[in-house]
A and B are shown apart, each in its own frame.
Chain A
Amino acid sequence: MQSSNELRWIDYLIILIYFIFVLGIGFVLKRFVKTSADFLLSGRSIPAWIAGLAFLSANLGAQEVIGMAASGAKYGIATSHFYWLGAIPAMVFVGIFMMPFYYGSKAKSVPDYLSLRYDEKTRAFNAFSFAGMTMMSSGISMYAMALLLQTIHIFDAPFRTLGLPNSWVFHVSIICSAVIVLGYIYLGGLTSAIYNEVIQFFLIVAGFFPLVFLGLVNVGGWSGLTQKLPAAYTHAWHGMDNPQHNLLGVDWFGLVMGLGFVLSFGYWCTDFLVIQRAMAADSMASARRVPLIASVPKMLFPFLVILPGLIALALTSPVQQNSAASGQPNQSPQAAEVQSVQQGMIPPQRNPETGEIVKDESGKAVLDYNMVIPNMLLHYFPSGMLGLGLTALLASFMSGMAGNVTAFNTVWTYDIFKAYIKRDATDANLLVVGQLATFFGVAFSVGVAYFVAAFNNIMDVLQLVFAFVNAPLFATFLLGMFWKRATGHGAFFGLISGTVAAAVHHGLTISAGSTPGVKGAWIATAHIYPSQMAQNFYTAIYAWTVCLLATIVISLVTKPRPEEELKGLVYALTEKAHETGGRWFLRPVPVGIGVLLLTLILNLIFR
Chain B
Amino acid sequence: MNVDLRFPLGLLFLVFGVMLTLFGLFTDQATYERSLFINVNLWWGLAMLIFGGLMFFFAWKKIQAKKR
Q: Is the A/B pair a real complex?
A: yes
B10 to chain A, nearest CB (A): 10
Q: Across the interface, which residues of B come within 8 angstroms of A191, CB to CB?
A: 2
> Distance (Å) between the CB of B54 and the closest chain A CB?
12
* B13 with A382: CB separation less than 8 A: no
- Check A199–B23 contact: CB distance below 8 A: no
A195 and B34 contact, Cβ closer than 8 Å, known pairs A14-B16, A28-B3, A45-B1: no
Separation of A14 and B45 alpha carbons in the complex (Å): 12
- Please determine whether A382 and B15 come into contact, CB atoms closer than 8 angstroms: no
A-B CB pair tally, cutoff 8 Å: 85
- From residue B6, how far is it (CB to closest CB) to chain A in Å? 10
Q: Is A385 touching B20 in the complex (CB atoms < 8 A)?
A: yes
A584 beta carbon closer than 8 Å to chain B: no
In the complex, the answer to whether A385 meets B13 with C-beta atoms within 8 Å is: no
Closest to A207 in B: B44
CB atoms of A47 and B1 under 8 A apart: yes
Determine the residue in chain B with the shortest Cβ distance to A201. Answer: B9
Q: Which residues of chain B have C-beta atoms less than 8 A from A47's C-beta? A: 1
Given contacts A25-B8, A29-B3, A210-B44, contact A384 B23 (CB under 8 A): yes
Bound state CA distance, A199 and B27, in angstroms? 28
Asked if B13 contacts A206 (CB within 8 A), the reply is yes
The number of chain B residues with a CB under 8 A from chain A is: 27
Is the CB of A217 closer than 8 A to any CB of chain B? yes
- Asked whether B44 lies within 8 Å of A385 as measured between CB atoms, the reply is yes
Q: Can you report 29 A-B residue pairs in the complex whose CB atoms are below 8 A from each other?
A: A10-B23, A14-B16, A14-B19, A17-B12, A21-B8, A24-B8, A25-B8, A29-B2, A32-B2, A45-B1, A50-B5, A195-B8, A198-B9, A202-B51, A203-B12, A206-B13, A206-B16, A206-B44, A206-B48, A210-B44, A214-B40, A382-B27, A382-B31, A382-B32, A382-B34, A383-B23, A383-B31, A385-B40, A388-B20
**Pairs of residues from A and B, 7 with the lowest C-beta to C-beta distance, nearest first:** A384-B41, A384-B23, A382-B31, A32-B2, A385-B40, A210-B44, A10-B23
Binding site for B on A (CB under 8 A): 10, 13-14, 17-18, 21, 24-25, 28-29, 32, 45-47, 50, 191, 195, 198-199, 202-203, 206, 210, 214, 217-218, 282, 379-385, 388
Question: Hey, which bits of chain B sit against chain A, CB under 8 A?
Answer: 1-3, 5, 8-9, 12-13, 15-16, 19-20, 23-24, 27, 31-32, 34-36, 38, 40-41, 44-45, 48, 51
